[in-house]
Amino acid sequence: MTALIDSIGIVGAGHIGSSIARAVRQRGLARSIAIADASDTVCERVAALDLADAVSTDAAIVGDCDAVILCVPVGSMGAVGEIVGPRLKPGAILTDVGSVKAAVIAALAPHVPAHAHLVPAHPVAGLEHSGPDSGLAELFVNRWCIITPPPDADKAAVAKIEALWRGMGSNVEVMTPEHHDRVLAITSHVPHLIAYNIVGTASDLEKVTEKEVIKFSAGGFRDFTRIAASDPVMWRDIFLNNREAVLEMLGRFNEDLAALQRAIRWGDGEALLKLFTRTRAIRRGVIEAGQANAVPPVAIGPQADPGKPVAARRRAKA
C-alpha cells in the first residue's frame, strides 16, 4: 500500500492529535509521523505509546513535513503558526482541527508562505477525555470532517486533506468558515456552554448539597457532567474565538427558554407537550444518520475518568 502522504507532522498530542497519529499509523496513511507537544510529560507519553517516529517539545520538528496538522487549542494556533509557517517547504500543506474556523484562519493565514497551502479542517468527533493516552484510532470513523478552504485554495491540496480524512474513516463536507462557525455554535458550542453552566449552578446551591447532586445524577444530570468534563482551555478558546455565533445562538436559546419557563408558570401543558413531541423526531434523525453513538462501544473503557492522570485512571474501579 502506498502512503497517501510521505511525512505527517502533528502539533499537539492530546485526545485528537493522538487519535490522528493512531489512525494514520494503523491505516498506513503516511510513511512517517513527527509529533510536537509543548509539554514534556505529553512527549514522554507519546514516546512510551510509540505514536510517532520523532517527538519533540519544539514545534520546529514538524517544519519539513509534507502535511502539518495543528491539534492545539484554538487560542494557540497563531503562536504555533508563527513557528511552523515560515519553515514549511514548497507544496507543504498546513491544516488544523480547530472547532472554530474563521478565527483560526485569521490567525494562521499570515504565517503561511506563498509556496505552501492552508487547508483548515475540523473533524466533528471526540470524547470528553484529554491527553495522549485517550486517543482512539477509530475516533473518526463514520464522523464528519468539515473542510473550510479559502476561496483561492489549491485544489490538489484540498483533495489531499480530504483523502486523509476519508482515509481515517470520516465523511467529508466542504463549507465556508462562517457557515461552519454558525453550525458548530448550535450543535456543539452552546450545548457545551449550557452543560458547563448547569453543572456550575448545581454545585453552587445551598439547599441541595453537591453530594446529593452527584448521588442522584442518574436522572439526567449525569450526561451534562460528562460534557462539562471536556478540556477547559480548549473550550475557553472556542468561546472567545466564536463569540458572535455563540452569542447569536445563545440569544435564540434564551428566548425559547423564556417561553418554556412561561409555559410552566402558567400551566400551559399543550405548549410543553408540543415541543417534547417535536424533539423526538430530531433524535430519530440522529439515529438514522448513524450519529447516535459516541464511538464503537468496544473502544471506550467502562467509566474512564477524564480529569485524573493516566495512572490514577488505570487504577480507578469501574
- Of 20-59, binders to its own copies (CB under 8 A) are none
Answer whether 165's CB lies under 8 Å from 123's CB: yes
**Binding of its own copies at residue 297 (CB under 8 A)?**
yes
**Binding of its own copies at residue 249 (CB under 8 A)?**
yes
Least separation in angstroms between residue 279's CB and its own copies is 4
Using the contact rule CB under 8 A, the part of the chain among 11-19, 44-52, 80-88, 225-233 near its own copies is 225-233
* Unique residue bearing C-alpha cell 488544523: 96
Taken in order 50, 51, 54, 55, the sign of the CA dihedral is negative
Using the contact rule CB under 8 A, the part of the chain among 32-40, 87-95, 148-156, 261-269 near its own copies is 261-269
Least separation in angstroms between residue 56's CB and its own copies is 27
The rounded Cα 11 to chain-centroid distance in angstroms is 14
β-sheet with 93-96: strand ranges across: 54-56, 30-36, 5-11, 67-70, 93-96, 117-118
Quote the cell numbers at residue 199: 453543572
Q: Rule CB under 8 A: which of 175-214 touch its own copies?
A: 179, 182-184, 186-205, 207-208, 210-214
> Between 85 and 135, whose beta carbon lies closer to its own copies?
135
Least separation in angstroms between residue 39's CB and its own copies is 17
Provide CB contacts within 8 A for 52, sequence distance 6+: 10, 21, 33, 34, 35, 46
Least separation in angstroms between residue 210's CB and its own copies is 7
Q: Rule CB under 8 A: which of 150-179 touch its own copies?
A: 173, 179
Binding mask 84-123 for its own copies (x = CB under 8 A): ---------------x------------------------
Element (H, E) at 98: none
Q: How far apart (Å, rounded) are the C-alpha atoms in residues 127 and 133? A: 12
**Binding of its own copies at residue 282 (CB under 8 A)?**
yes
Q: Rule CB under 8 A: which of 298-317 touch its own copies?
A: 302-303, 305-308, 316
Q: How far is CA 101 from CA 8, 59, 185, 295, in A?
A: 21, 21, 11, 24
Using the contact rule CB under 8 A, the part of the chain among 37-45, 54-62, 151-159, 240-248 near its own copies is 240-248
224: left (phi over 0), alpha (psi -120 to 50) or beta: alpha
**Binding of its own copies at residue 223 (CB under 8 A)?**
yes
Residue of 1, 215, 311, 315 that binds its own copies (CB under 8 A)? 215
Provide CB contacts within 8 A for 184, sequence distance 6+: 99, 100, 122, 124, 242, 245
- Other Cβ atoms less than 10 A from the Cβ of 31: the count is 14
Q: Rule CB under 8 A: which of 56-75 touch its own copies?
A: 75
> Between 166 and 243, whose beta carbon lies closer to its own copies?
243
Least separation in angstroms between residue 8's CB and its own copies is 23
Answer whether 228's CB lies under 8 Å from 199's CB: yes
| Residue among 307, 318, 252, 286 at smallest CA distance from 143 | 286
Residue of 60, 106, 156, 286 that binds its own copies (CB under 8 A)? 286
Least separation in angstroms between residue 208's CB and its own copies is 5
Q: How far is CA 222 from CA 35, 207, 225, in A?
A: 35, 20, 5
> Between 155 and 211, whose beta carbon lies closer to its own copies?
211
